[in-house]
Amino acid sequence: MKKSEWNEGLDHLDPDLIETYVEQKDGFRKNKKQKSVWLRIGAIAACLALIVGAVGVLPRLQNKIPVWDQAQYSAEEVAALFSGLKGDAVATNTYTTVSVPDAKYLYIDPITDDEYLPVYQYHATENPINEAELEAFINGFLPKLGESVDVEPPRYEIKEEEDLAYRGKTYLNYCGDFGDYRMWIRQRESNFSFAIYKSRGKGDPCIVLDGETVQIDQRLSDEEILSSLQSIKNKLFAIFNVSFPDAKIVRRYGEYSEHGAETVSVYFYQKNEPALDPTQKGWMPSDYIEIQFDNISNFSGDTVGDGILTDATIYYKKNRTDSSKEYEPIANAKRISLEDAEALLYHGYVFGGHVCSLCMKRQDKISFQDYDFVDLEYVFGYDPQTGRPTVGMPFYAFYKEIKTAQNGNTVYAKTYVAAIEVSGYDKYFEKEKKNHQDINDIIG
């Protein structure tokens, strides 16, 4: 940089602007996330960087938010991912809440440093339902399951029913008793699915395979739980004639249950693309076995126990076609920096929020200024007409601790900022202002 340019940059610096910038940097250091290198730079280095790049940085600071006029996607397209869930009034600058006893159950993953991130398109599988295929699926495991639970397999009658989850579609279904158990088996265009659980009113709500009760102690670590289920896993693999190399445990918590998790799901599956790997959503593209343990009988607060869980449901899903073709990368979009995402966050240019508009109106106004955690998460749109996913885009998910629940769990607010370059923020949020909560809901 020439001396004249250096002096010109110094002459154009606004003292109030520098003070605001330094205060903001100090505020950032309070965050627990520590995921961005620049947060660890000292105040002197930060000020020096501001001065050295004064001519280039000043316009961005004056505009407060970055602008990407030539981005592949617009703010309106990003908001459309959420509109299927919330109808016409998309309150995007709101937040959802997550309740956990420990931050590790937020399942925060490291943020990738990739320059570009894929955008996915979901393609529905058009595979007509076929009763003969469903019978072959059932006969492939039902006799072995019957031997394991010491129940004679029932005669079953398959029915074609309207699929409420996918409008305009039908599926094949069988639902009935299996000794003291209850089970259902279904075939949709894309997959086969099966579930078995203990019928209510038939004694202890547990499943017993070859004399061994399916249970976990939720006080143990995930690794210890998986180790304790080794024998059950092997039995299930033998029954369904599968072998999955990967396992994952997802614990879901609330604000009212007095003891432990409300549900604990154990998944055995095949990892797919990292971006599509399940977290709290509990879904995955691959075939899988899930054992879900419930700790609430009827409603929040109706607890069963804080230790060993035996109220189990076993699920098995098998794809009818290659699941990797359902989610196709359709674009590589330029990832924005965490600093730019923070600028959007503090300006209220965020997405997500509670599905219930009444709940959104009752939310306390909070500031994400000193947020606690951030990670990268994919969000898929939802078509209310078909019940199917649409496009999936990457987002920075910001978490801010807001209160302690009555059961002692920590409650975090969670909101989304698009992790890729997006155009038209000002235009979209101004146009949709009547459908959004006031921007103070974010910046306080």
Give residue-wise pLDDT tens across range 363-396. Answer: 778 889 999 999 998 888 877 777 778 888 999 9
Go through the chain and tell me how many residues it has.
444
Q: What is the DSSP letter of 211?
A: T
**Residue 423 is part of which domain span?**
73-124+328-443
Band of residue 95 on the pLDDT scale cut at 50, 70, 90: confident
Do 109 and 56 lie in one domain? The reply is no
Distance CA 233, CA 244 (A): 10
Asked if 394 and 134 count as a contact pair (C-beta separation under 8 A), the reply is no
Do 99 and 152 lie in one domain? The reply is no
Q: Is pLDDT at 200 greater than 90 in this prediction?
A: no
| DSSP letter for each residue of 390-416 | EEEEEEEEEEEEEEE-TTS-EEEEEEE
* The domain boundary residue, chosen from 325, 342, 359: 325
Do 226 and 272 lie in one domain? The reply is yes
Q: Is pLDDT at 64 greater than 80 in this prediction?
A: no
Do 332 and 409 lie in one domain? The reply is yes
pLDDT reported for residue 133: 95
Task: Output Rg (C-alpha) for the chain, integer angstroms.
Answer: 25
pLDDT reported for residue 356: 61
- 103-117, pLDDT tens digit by residue? 988 988 888 889 999
Do 280 and 338 lie in one domain? The reply is no
Do 153 and 267 lie in one domain? The reply is yes
| Count of the separate structural domains present in the chain | 3
Low-confidence winner among 63-67, 168-172, 174-178, 267-271 (lowest mean pLDDT): 63-67
Nearest to 79 by CA among 69, 68, 92, 66: 92
Do 250 and 284 lie in one domain? The reply is yes
Do 320 and 272 lie in one domain? The reply is yes
The CA–CA distances, whole Å, from 36 to 29, 32, 111, 113 equal: 10, 11, 9, 10
- 298-315, pLDDT tens digit by residue? 555 555 566 889 999 999
Do 161 and 290 lie in one domain? The reply is yes
Positive or negative, the CA dihedral 112, 266, 263, 410 is negative
Do 321 and 334 lie in one domain? The reply is no
pTM exceeds 0.85, yes or no: no
Do 208 and 308 lie in one domain? The reply is yes
pLDDT reported for residue 21: 40
* The domain boundary residue, chosen from 325, 352, 382: 325
* The domain boundary residue, chosen from 283, 307, 325: 325
* 68 belongs to a structural domain: no
Q: What's the mean per-residue pLDDT of the chain? A: 78
Do 201 and 311 lie in one domain? The reply is yes
